[in-house]
Amino acid sequence: MGYFTVSLQEMLARESEATRHRVKMRTADLIAEELELRELRRLRKLTQARLSKKLKIGQEGVSRIEKRSDLYLSTLRSYVEAVGGALTLMVRFPDHPPVILTGFGDSNSPAKPKSTKKAAPKSIQKKRPGKSSARSKSRRAA
């Protein structure tokens, strides 16, 4: 028994218009799910020059970002926000529903409060009048 090949176009021609439309829409969805940064920018109809103005960097900086395979999250977040999106980090486990990570300085998560009181280093702390250390007493005696 021999096998024969059929092209995708031939297979789709045999299907109903509704099925062809569903296939076309699903194909577009799958393609949209995985884009490189350059493709994302082009999808938003932005040039590197226009994006560079939004990011306040030179056009060559946008080009470098788009060519990198390893980025800081803050750089990626700035790029995504400049093209009009919002960055979300999701972790997928085989035995658990997806989890969205928070707390990476994203613009939607609350900032950690900064302490306003900082102790001065001991070398510059003021001595209290009338209280001197044994070490400073021995220096004065010498």
Query: For 102-115, what is the mean pLDDT?
Result: 53
- The answer to whether residue 1 sits within a structural domain is no
Q: Please give the pLDDT value at position 116.
A: 44
More confident site: 90 or 135: 90
CA 21 – CA 14 distance, rounded (Å) = 13
CATH number at residue 13: 1.10.260.40
pLDDT digits (tens, 9 = 90+) for 30-48: 776 778 999 999 989 999 9
- The answer to whether residue 39 sits within a structural domain is yes
Closest among 61, 91, 59 to 75, alpha carbons compared? 61
Q: Please give the pLDDT value at position 15.
A: 93
If phi > 0 it is left, if psi is from -120 to 50 it is alpha, else beta; for residue 114 that is beta
What total of structural domains would you count in the chain?
1
- The answer to whether residue 56 sits within a structural domain is yes
- The answer to whether residue 14 sits within a structural domain is yes
- What range does the domain containing 106 cover? 9-110
Token pair, residue 114, equals 């900064």
The radius of gyration of the chain's CA atoms, rounded to the nearest angstrom, is: 30
